[in-house]
Structure 1
Amino acid sequence: MHAWAAVPLQGRRQLLGCVTLGFTEPHSWSGSERELLQAFAALTAQALDRIGAHAAEHAALAEVAGIAETLQRSMLTAPPEPDHLQIAVRYAAASSAAEVGGDWYDAFVTSEGLTTLVVGDVTGHDMRAAAVMGQLRNLLRGIAFTLGEPPARALAALDRAAAGLGIDTVATVVIAQIEVDEAHRAAGTRLLRWSNAGHLPPLLLTAEGAVSYLQPDDSDVVLGWDPSTDRHDHELVLPVGATVLLFTDGLVERRGASLEHGLAWLAGAVAELADAPLEELCDALLELVGDHLDDDVALLALRAYAEDEPRPAEAGPSHVPAGHEAVQAARPENDAPSEGS
């Protein structure tokens, strides 16, 4: 080079570098050329500033989303493995990397020996929804574990507790319990008792491959609407080989399609996967949805096996809490706490 000029690229907070222009022949820089180079350098620095800010924003959002999802997943504990019952759980985050929601699942054995299943969804899709989700989940777990009440009473107690503690939110929840009395034990069946606070209905898959939704005529309102409302229990005899699926709306809701269409799609998909092991069934449903999630998905599935036969290997080892091995599971007419698998 016989002539050159180097102009600094000054960003808003730091020096980003310099831009250099050179000539292979001798050259004298005029005043207008100097002004042009300075203007070009200023525009270049602004562009680099915007690129850097955009990249930093995306990195920060990804980091926040990762932390939020990690915290959310930390509250979604592994399910128990009660005798001759298999429980599978899944959680899938929505496609938006910067968001986290209020979907949750839970499964535990109460102090009375009842296997309890919960799926819920807090209104909203942000950090506040995730925080409220954690509060409601832990409240319901403590209430159901300690009181030994039927599902409807547990939900009513949760509604009153949330209102009294100032947890101002709206949420949908479905809670189910598995009971076994002597008559059911002799017949090889179980009693599924559940209550639904405005949530999507559970799906039942029989051993013969029949699919139906557990949707009674009287549907209770969501949590947070009226803490004094009456809530209702529903019952279903659960035969050997039956599968119950609880899920949040992210599994079935899609832009441009009705909820009824989504529920019909899910019923058809489950019918086609009726012969699949429980874990594979859950994986296959999420694979069918793919990366088109508009909302988070919480998924909980339970499959009942015969109690008079060895526990199937696919159900995993049995881990029944101490003291629950020989409980009776009848819930008498006076609504005394019952115990079961």
Structure 2
Amino acid sequence: MVEFLAAEPDILRAVFVNLNAGMILTDRDARINAVNPHAEELLALAARDMLGKDFHDLLHRRGDGTLEARDECPLLGVFDDTRMARVDTDSFLRGDGELLPVSWSAAPVTVDGDTIGVVTLFEDATEHRAAQDHQAAHLAAVEDLAQRLTLVGEITEVLTQTLEAEEALNRLGRLLVPRLADWAAVDLRVADGEVRRVAVVGPQGRDVGREGGQGALSAIPETSRSVLVRVLRGSEAVLLGPDEIAAPPDSPLAVVHTTFLHALGATSAVVVPLSTPRQVMGALTVARTDEERPLSAEDLPLIRDIGRRAGLAIDNARLFERQRDIAATMQRNLLPKLPDIAPLELAARYQPAPRGSQVGGDWYDALILPDGAIGLAIGDVVGHDLSAAAGMAELRNMLRALAWDRAEPPSAIVSRLDESMQAITDVQMATLILARIERVGSGATHEAAAPEGWQVRWTSAGHPPPLLVTGEGRAQYLEEGQELLLGARLGKPPLRPDGLEPLPPGATVLLYTDGLVEMATSDLDTGLNRLRRHAMALASRPLDELCDGILERMPPGGADDIALLALRVPG
């Protein structure tokens, strides 16, 4: 048996009176026994006018106002089936003769297993649907905001993943289509007031044709009032509807833009500047072709923000490219002219890092030493751009001076360089190989080779090993003479080791930097094995052809400079 506290009837009465929904209690015969105040308000009927009346006959109506048959009434079915029922769309007749759209639920009231009545809760379905619509609109707005924030985050990541401006803008277009627009095009300002279309992205498999193709456009006119020209000259974002798209162009640049929008069938578009606080770098055009889903003023803040982010990315990429070009030019000009060391042959190659990558401090050097030996050096200064190029020059000049100063093994020269490097230069760390090509015999210079032949003596400071290739096509890496890279030891470093290897007639010694063998898609051992195979295949070629062939055959994909220095002894 259910027990109640003494105050329970008061609580139940308060719930009945204050419930924010209509409540009607009926007996077993569907006569109304009780009506709460909210039901009176919704039905515009006083409780006294409803008590004792048949619920179905008094209140229940179809949508057209007619009385529903009792055997079809779901409300009366609760009495027969003694099960709860719910109807989301129904009508009750108000006291003023109007129909009230309602949603209701009814449950039987049982005592000792017998149904003695039914309690019915109902509410105005119009208000309920409005609340549901408001909630759905709120959820849709939150979801749209989340999608836009996700898009902005992905765009920021894409724009910062590469320092190649045109590649970044093409990636941007592929993010915008189809998530924000059906088409996207990017036009950049280039030298002398010219405009270049660098990216056009549309639905997969759809080509807009020559009308939207990439390439150089006309110069920015002085007097045109077309949207693209205004944006390129610093105007804010512009929203275009069908009338603006159909407007006749007033300049060659406007013709290109209008023709592009017509060719793709645009019904709305937005043009925003790609800008930084200092300048406008270009313009982004996004367009939709669906008349039922046009771009609107609500889209402008998002697209304007995308334009600012893209503008900053382009500015950063251009600044980097200028610095990179200066560094590459400086680095190339600092590389030495190779000496004539006949009857030995000497060849070198320098290949800058791929566009969009950072220039390193790769370098090579070759000189005839006072005792007649040939000094070969190759190295890589840790760092990038101008600082690495400048450090490379400092290190090369120091090494030249130390090698010329006295006749001693490469290990002793590199040890002295390691001791003095950080005190005299700005270089913190570097890799290096220093080698001496010596005639086997006493005191003769390289111009008068003794019958005994030649040998190479070298030391390596953390650099990839030299590759020795014989004229018959055999190849081996010279692994001796290895020590830590320059600048890696604290205090005075110990004497470094030397390696020594005889050079058979016609042999080639190949020195190189890690950009030749390090690839993003494979490990170092794979790169070294690949270089060895190509060098063996090219062993019989003239030295210049061997160097060119190696650069051609090694797969692209590295992000570093390549320096290559090759010496061949007479056959």
TM score, norm. by length of structure 1: 0.74
User: Where do residues 42-81 of structure 1 align in structure 2 (5 Å cutoff)?
Assistant: 53-81=312-340
Distance 1:40 1:70 in 2: 45
8 Å CA contact 1:110, 1:146 repeated in 2:
no
Cα-to-partner distance string for 1:13-68 (whole Å, 9 max, x where unaligned): 944797785599xxxxxxxxxxx998788877766666555444433322221111
Q: Report the 3-state secondary structure (helix = DSSP H, G, I; strand = E; otherwise coil) of the residue aligned with 2:482.
A: coil
Q: Specify the alignment match of 1:273 in structure 2.
A: 538
2:463 paired with 1:199 = yes
1:142-193 Cα distance to aligned partner (Å, 9 max, x none): 2112333321111011111113326451211111112225479332511211
State the alpha-carbon separation in 2 of the partners of residues 114 and 255 from structure 1: 38
Which of 501, 525, 528 is residue 263 of structure 1 equivalent to? 528
SS at structure 2 position matched to 1:186: coil
Alpha-carbon offset, residue 103 of structure 1: 1.3
Distance 2:559 2:245 in 1: 56
Q: Distance in 1 between matches of 2:238 and 2:397?
A: 57
One of 503, 515, 523 as aligned partner of 1:250:
515
CA contact (8 A) 2:466 2:512 kept: yes
Q: C-alpha distance in 1, partners of 2:305/2:478?
A: 60
The one-letter amino acid of 2:463's match is H
Q: Which has the higher contact order (CA 8 A, sep 6+)?
A: 1
CA shift in 2, pair 1:8/1:225, >3 Å: closer
Aligned to 1:123: 382
Matches within 5 A, 1:1-341: 14-15=234-235, 21=243, 53-165=312-424, 167-182=426-441, 185-216=449-480, 219-226=482-489, 227-305=492-570
Q: Which moved more, 1:230-239 or 1:48-57?
A: 48-57
Higher CA-based Rg: 2
For the 8 Å contact 1:9–1:45, the answer to whether it is kept is no
Quote the Cα distance in structure 2 between the aligned partners of 1:221 and 1:207. Answer: 32
Q: Tell me the amino acid that sits aligned with residue 221 of structure 1.
A: L
Does the C-alpha gap of structure 1 residues 166 and 243 become closer, same or farther in structure 2, counting only changes over 3 Å? closer
CA shift in 2, pair 1:174/1:6, >3 Å: closer
| 1:268-305 CA-partner distances (Å, limit 9, x unpaired) | 11111111111111111111125322222111000111
Q: How many residues align?
A: 290
Alignment check: 8 A CA contact 1:103 1:298 kept: yes
Over 3 Å counting, the alpha-carbon distance change for 1:235 and 1:98 in structure 2 is: closer
> Residue 562 of structure 2 aligns to which amino acid in structure 1?
V
Q: 1:12 to 1:284 in 2, by over 3 A?
A: closer
Deviation, structure 1 residue 98: 4.8
Can you list the C-alpha shifts for 1:225-270, whole angstroms capped at 9, x where unaligned? 2242211222222222110000111111122422222211111111
Q: Distance in 2 between matches of 1:278 and 1:107?
A: 16
Change in 2 beyond 3 A, CA 1:93/1:118: same
SS of residue paired to 1:187: coil
Q: Is the 8 A contact 1:240 1:304 kept in 2?
A: yes
Identity of matched residues, %: 38
Mapped partners of 1:234, 1:7: distance in 2 = 70
Measure the CA separation in 2 of the matches of 1:206 and 1:37.
72
Cα gap change, 1:45/1:73 in structure 2, threshold over 3 Å: closer, same or farther?
same
Residues 1:18 and 1:265: Cα distance change in structure 2 (over 3 Å)? closer
Assess, with a 3 A threshold, how the Cα gap between structure 1 residues 10 and 133 changes in structure 2: closer, same or farther.
Answer: same
Deviation at 1:202, TM superposition (A): 0.4
* Amino acid aligned to 1:148: A
Separation of aligned partners in 2, 1:43 and 1:230: 63
Which amino acid letter does the alignment assign opposite residue 297 of structure 1? I
Instruction: Provide the rounded CA distance (Å) in 2 between the counterparts of 1:267 and 1:126.
Output: 30
Letter in 2 for 1:196: S
Q: What are the ranges of 5 or more consecutive residues in structure 1 without an aligned counterpart?
A: 25-35, 307-341
Distance 2:245 2:329 in 1: 56
Structure 2 residue runs of 5 or longer lacking an equivalent are 1-224, 247-294
Alpha-carbon offset, residue 90 of structure 1: 0.9
Q: Which residue of 2 aligns with 1:318?
A: none
Give the equivalent residue in structure 1 for 2:130. none
- Any idea what SS the aligned residue of 1:176 has? strand
Distance in 2 (CA, whole Å) between partners of 1:265 and 1:203 is 12
